[in-house]
Structure 1
Amino acid sequence: MATSERDRQLEVVEICAGAGGQTLGLERAGFRHRVAVELDANAANTLRCNLQEVLGYSEEEAEETVKIGDVADSNTWKPEEHKGVDLLAGGVPCPPFSIAGKQLGANDERDLFAWAVELCGEIQPKALLLENVRGLSANRFTAYRQHVLDRLHEHGYIGDWKLLQANEFGVSQLRPRFVLVALKKEFAEYWDWPTPCEEEPPSVGELLRDLMASNGWEEDQVNDWVKRADGIAPTIVGGSKKHGGADLGPTRAKRAWEALGVDAMGVANEAPSEGWRAPEGVPGPKLTTAMVARIQGWHDFEPLEGSASPASYEFRWKFHGRKTSVYRQIGNAFPPPVAKALGVAIRKAIHQEGERRTLLESTDRILDPVYKLLRGSNRALTVDQIIEKLAKGGTFLEQPDVERRLNHLGHDFTVTMTARSNGVIAYSLGEFKAFTGQDDHQRHDLFTQHRAKIS
């Protein structure tokens, strides 16, 4: 690659940007935001202000960069204006795939994953980065993931999925994120997933020691709490607007917080003051939103060599809105250190740095053999026929597994069942139910009805 091209500032279009966790990480990795689109006004305000105060954008640049509204609405922004951008990135809504939810997938009006893949095909960036919850990696969504890889291949990309653990990248939290990275072939040959850090992240106690002591809580009390909070945090749960206020998660998470000496039944307005003692039956102090933000990875970064971003990284990312909104912005974010690690790896691939590798084409990767067989068949197949045809290709499935996969397919695809003369049911695969930009898709009506509760 020519020196002038290598020295050029890489640009990113980010969708569903939230309060800027991925934004911050990608900026630290050497990307400059051309556009960042976000539905929630408070999160967008947080992002716009920090583009100026932390990342060095002018007021005019920040105003022009952040677009507020439905990312799939052409009135919010114009994707066609950004064809050929270096990176398309986003953290599309998690509830359609969350284990804590109903896992409606393609039938959830908040699902934008398939739409983002089609957006990638439209604007043809060099690389695509999408992250979501671990639930998307479950067997329930093997056909969904297979369809995504196949569509990306049709658009000219080679994609790969990986489950990344935030604590392996310096974040003091057990936060698994399922990540899709896809690149044009000439860049995919240089792609490699980021290597986890060798050092363990600090414990919650060590990470928050100064914040716990910031409001006058006695040193001996702080030290005792730090000793108890000697592990890393469970996953910070932001939740959606369909649920209640700020607390630190479901029952299992609350037990983990209790073991760390943290009261998970809400979020405090300030750190413990002088003389504070935990009431009977309460394991310890509540966390403030500033503490939650630090656990999520919003703390000081080292400057990236050669980055055009500001040299001084001593900052406080300021969140805008009321406490519940701020907590939700933090909890729904992609940890900045993980986003930075991915951004650095993508930047190296775009610059074609490192060892060139032989690619395994995405069409050779079969995540769901039943989906692949039905997608390529010009006639309906019974369960026995599916088993027989797969066995001829070296894939051996039992009847219950085939039936389970067919059931999963029915959630995200139109599956037609036809009774043959002998009463046996034959299956054929129809259209993908997910929203991919269709004007007449049910997503539009549902989105309008539920917009106030979508986050």
Structure 2
Amino acid sequence: MRAIELFAGAGGLGIGVSRAGFIPAEVIEWNRWCCDTIRENKARGILPVAKWPLVEGDVRNINFQRHEGRVELVTGGPPCQPFSLGGKHRSHNDVRDMWSEAVRAVRETKPKAFIFENVKGLTRETFATYLAYIVHQLSYPELTCGSGESWTDHLAKLECHHIAGSSCRGLSYRVVYRVLNAANYGIPQRRERVIFVGFRSDLGIEWSFPAATHSLDALAWQQCRSGGYWERHGVSRRQRIVSPRFEERVECLASKPMALPWRTVRDAIGDLPDPELAPSLAAEFLNHRFQPGARSYPGHTGSPLDEPAKTLKAGVHGVPGGENMLARPDGSLRYFSVRESARLQTFPDDFRFHGSWSETMRQLGNAVPVELATLIANSVRAHLAAATAPERKQ
């Protein structure tokens, strides 16, 4: 099955989609630093990006019609700054809002499915009407906005089309979306993002998001009740620092949770040498160098070692220090290295990031966790394969 990746960034979503078995027909990204990261890994022969047909350019200048009927999946993360909780919340008034281009790619390629990702802020009450507009556009991509027509007028037209039960006429998709916390799927980071998945209506596919596999309760149980977490990491009783919040949760649990425990920062980076305390050993790992200058201030206290990391952020005017710091058990702080941040985003260790610390952290802050992308893409591919099996037998 073939796919097109829009707004590829450093490649988190794309790597996951490729791992699920989709072959990229085109990978598009306009930021040269992100493209340099992908190109460097292509040159080094790092799979799956080594075989990516990368296009550096503005998606608005790409004609997707040549891919019509030739790709099964369109994926991407339209620029999210218009909706980010850390941004200016301009939504449809922001020139960085690229949802119309995502819809155009679907309209011109007519894929069997699509996967799009964006920040949780898009689901805020402030953006409720525009969120509905996005969903309706994705549902009926051929019902385009007319010349001089406002987006609210276009939404009204889409709503009328939907209520009239016209989904059987023309290109249409069954669309679902949900805010997912990556920690609930084994990612060592509390990262909430809204994921949109759509299947072409004529395929008749019924689909729902994969069930969560990990939980906070299970981690609290292992730290406060069974001690299995500490034993796994060889932490003595006197060195164990348990969050009071975890202790409160365990008091409410009658039995051991069935889910796997949330993965923590220690789970993700515990085998890496500390880049501040052991720089020569750290130098043996790609992008694993100490970055000075970390400091704590109200609301920005770093990520505790024995909890999932706080959401890595790209920042509007540079990297936000507090969100991208490690809070050691002894109370000291330091910035995560690029390699540690890549671990928190589940990128492979042989994947090199290009650019300065600030630039590479921006790439990581905008990325989709690779393992979460793989999970969703695997589910989508399995449903597509099941739905198209009769076609292959003919």
TM-score scaled by length of structure 2: 0.67
CA contact (8 A) 1:202 1:232 kept: yes
Residue 122 of structure 1 is matched in structure 2 by: 108
CA contact (8 A) 2:73 2:114 kept: yes
| Pairing of 1:242-261 with structure 2 (within 5 A) | 243-244=317-318, 246-249=319-322, 253=323, 260-261=327-328
Tell me how far apart the structure 2 counterparts of residues 188 and 115 of structure 1 sit (CA, whole Å): 26
The amino acid of 1:298's aligned partner reads F
Matched, 1:23 2:14: yes
Cα distance, 1:126 vs structure 2: 0.7
Matched, 1:80 2:80: no
Q: 1:153 to 1:297 in 2, by over 3 A?
A: same
User: Secondary structure of the residue that 2:334 maps to in structure 1?
Assistant: coil
Residue 293 of structure 2 is matched in structure 1 by: none
Task: Tell me which moved more, 130-139 or 45-54.
Answer: 45-54
Corresponding residue to 2:174 among 126, 133, 158: 158
User: Secondary structure of the residue that 1:293 maps to in structure 2?
Assistant: helix
| Pairing of 1:107-118 with structure 2 (within 5 A) | 107-118=93-104
Cα distance, 1:337 vs structure 2: 1.0
CA displacement 1:41-74 (0-9 Å, x = unmatched): 121121233346221566xx54xx1111111123
Q: Which has the higher contact order (CA 8 A, sep 6+)?
A: 1
Residue 283 of structure 1 is matched in structure 2 by: 332
The amino acid of 2:191's aligned partner reads R
Residue 406 of structure 1 is matched in structure 2 by: none
The amino acid of 1:330's aligned partner reads L
CA displacement 1:6-53 (0-9 Å, x = unmatched): xxxx11100000011001111111111111111111211212333462
TM-score scaled by length of structure 1: 0.59
Residue 210 of structure 1 is matched in structure 2 by: 271
Tell me how far apart the structure 1 counterparts of residues 42 and 384 of structure 2 sit (CA, whole Å): 24
The amino acid of 1:162's aligned partner reads R
CA RMSD of aligned residues (A): 2.6
The amino acid of 2:67's aligned partner reads H
| Pairing of 1:259-274 with structure 2 (within 5 A) | 260-261=327-328
CA contact (8 A) 1:83 1:123 kept: yes
Q: Which has the larger radius of gyration?
A: 1
User: Secondary structure of the residue that 1:319 maps to in structure 2?
Assistant: coil
CA contact (8 A) 1:289 1:326 kept: yes
| Pairing of 1:10-409 with structure 2 (within 5 A) | 10-51=1-42, 53-55=45-47, 61-62=51-52, 65-74=53-62, 78-84=63-69, 85-154=71-140, 155-187=171-203, 189-197=205-213, 198-213=259-274, 217=278, 229-240=305-316, 243-244=317-318, 246-249=319-322, 253=323, 260-261=327-328, 283-299=332-348, 315-352=349-386
Tell me how far apart the structure 1 counterparts of residues 75 and 3 of structure 2 sit (CA, whole Å): 7
The amino acid of 1:328's aligned partner reads R
Residue 149 of structure 2 is matched in structure 1 by: none
Cα distance, 1:323 vs structure 2: 1.9
> What runs of 5+ residues in structure 1 fail to find an aligned partner?
1-9, 219-227, 263-277, 300-314, 355-455
Cα distance, 1:79 vs structure 2: 1.0
Tell me how far apart the structure 1 counterparts of residues 112 and 84 of structure 2 sit (CA, whole Å): 29
Q: 1:164 to 1:51 in 2, by over 3 A?
A: farther
User: Secondary structure of the residue that 1:34 maps to in structure 2?
Assistant: strand
CA contact (8 A) 1:237 1:248 kept: no
> What runs of 5+ residues in structure 2 fail to find an aligned partner?
141-170, 214-258, 280-303, 389-394
Tell me how far apart the structure 1 counterparts of residues 30 and 312 of structure 2 sit (CA, whole Å): 21
The amino acid of 2:182's aligned partner reads A
Tell me how far apart the structure 1 counterparts of residues 106 and 49 of structure 2 sit (CA, whole Å): 26
Tell me how far apart the structure 1 counterparts of residues 364 and 49 of structure 2 sit (CA, whole Å): 22
Cα distance, 1:148 vs structure 2: 2.4
Cα distance, 1:320 vs structure 2: 1.2
Cα distance, 1:321 vs structure 2: 1.6
CA displacement 1:384-408 (0-9 Å, x = unmatched): xxxxxxxxxxxxxxxxxxxxxxxxx
Residue 416 of structure 1 is matched in structure 2 by: none
Tell me how far apart the structure 2 counterparts of residues 28 and 180 of structure 1 sit (CA, whole Å): 19
Tell me how far apart the structure 2 counterparts of residues 56 and 184 of structure 1 sit (CA, whole Å): 27
Cα distance, 1:247 vs structure 2: 4.0
Give aligned-pair identity as a percent: 29
User: Secondary structure of the residue that 1:210 maps to in structure 2?
Assistant: coil
The amino acid of 1:261's aligned partner reads R
The amino acid of 1:290's aligned partner reads R
Cα distance, 1:209 vs structure 2: 1.8
CA displacement 1:144-190 (0-9 Å, x = unmatched): 12222323333411111110111112111110001111111244523
Cα distance, 1:107 vs structure 2: 0.5
Residue 251 of structure 2 is matched in structure 1 by: none
Cα distance, 1:202 vs structure 2: 2.6
CA contact (8 A) 2:205 2:387 kept: no
CA contact (8 A) 2:59 2:101 kept: no
User: Secondary structure of the residue that 1:143 maps to in structure 2?
Assistant: helix
Q: How many residues align?
A: 288
Q: 1:353 to 1:119 in 2, by over 3 A?
A: closer
The amino acid of 1:296's aligned partner reads Q
CA contact (8 A) 1:96 1:106 kept: yes
Tell me how far apart the structure 1 counterparts of residues 370 and 262 of structure 2 sit (CA, whole Å): 14
CA contact (8 A) 1:16 1:37 kept: yes
CA contact (8 A) 2:275 2:337 kept: no
The amino acid of 2:74's aligned partner reads L
CA contact (8 A) 1:97 1:104 kept: yes
CA contact (8 A) 2:18 2:48 kept: no
Q: 1:173 to 1:41 in 2, by over 3 A?
A: same
User: Secondary structure of the residue that 1:67 maps to in structure 2?
Assistant: strand
